[in-house]
Amino acid sequence: MPADQQTEWYCIFMHRHFSAMQQADPSALIRFFQSVHPSSEAIAREIAAHFHPASYKKGAFFLEEGKRSHEYLFLEEGIMRSYLFDTEGSEVTTNFYTPGNVVFEAASFFQHIPSPESIQALTDCNAWKITYDELNAIFHALPAFRETGRAILVRTLVSLKVRTLSMINKTAEQRYAALLHSQPDIFRHVPLKYIASFLGVTDTSLSRIRKEFVQR
């Protein structure tokens, strides 16, 4: 997109969404941007002004398998999960998203290909979203967002790497303990069968692990 068109798009966007931002409180989103990359509140607020408030009822899909991901989400309240089906047709949870997480399917979002996963709200959720085109436009229009965007992507990639390695070099008990420490709300709001598949164990094994932890 030429520079003059980017500037025009930016001005129109800011005018169109200013009233919506006044009605919704972007404080959590602003704090998130400041936490991933040091910046002034003014800069973080300017970035946040490009995100739209969104809500999802329990059971609603943010993304469905086979569809292309066009949106990038910051989750403010609630819990979501991503899942797919293995070669035997069994459902496998691949991730949980809790408040303060970004939610998107990276391959589909950046490469414009059908998503191999579905992302579903497990509780009522409130969030802030932005489309791929909007994200790309502010990446070029707002230099301050470039470092913030890179920092968010690095954080996401590191989390994925840790998750991948844990399935190889950690026991089920260690994975359970790590999940309990990092995302305790999951155990209060998520069905155990989803947690079991995420940890790579059966429902029976998860029940045994939970019992052992209680007895310690």
Supply the DSSP string of 82-133, one letter for each residue.
EEEE-TTS-EEEEEEE-TT-EE--HHHHHH--B-SSEEEESS-EEEEEEEHH
CATH of domain 3-167: 2.60.120.10
pTM of the complete model: 0.84
CA-to-CA distance for 190 and 68, rounded, in angstroms?
26
Could you read off the pLDDT of 155-165 as tens digits, one per residue?
Answer: 989 998 999 99
Residue 135 pLDDT greater than 50, yes or no: yes
Residue keyed to tokens 């932005």: 130
pLDDT band at 213 (very low <50, low <70, confident <90, very high): confident
Which H or E run includes 206? helix 203-215
pLDDT for residue 158: 93
Residue 190, classed as helix, strand or coil, is coil
Least confident of 11-15, 21-25, 71-75, 153-157: 11-15
Query: Per-residue pLDDT averaged across 86-105, rounded?
Result: 95
Query: Per-residue pLDDT averaged across 165-181, rounded?
Result: 94
Nearest to 63 by CA among 80, 75, 87, 85: 80
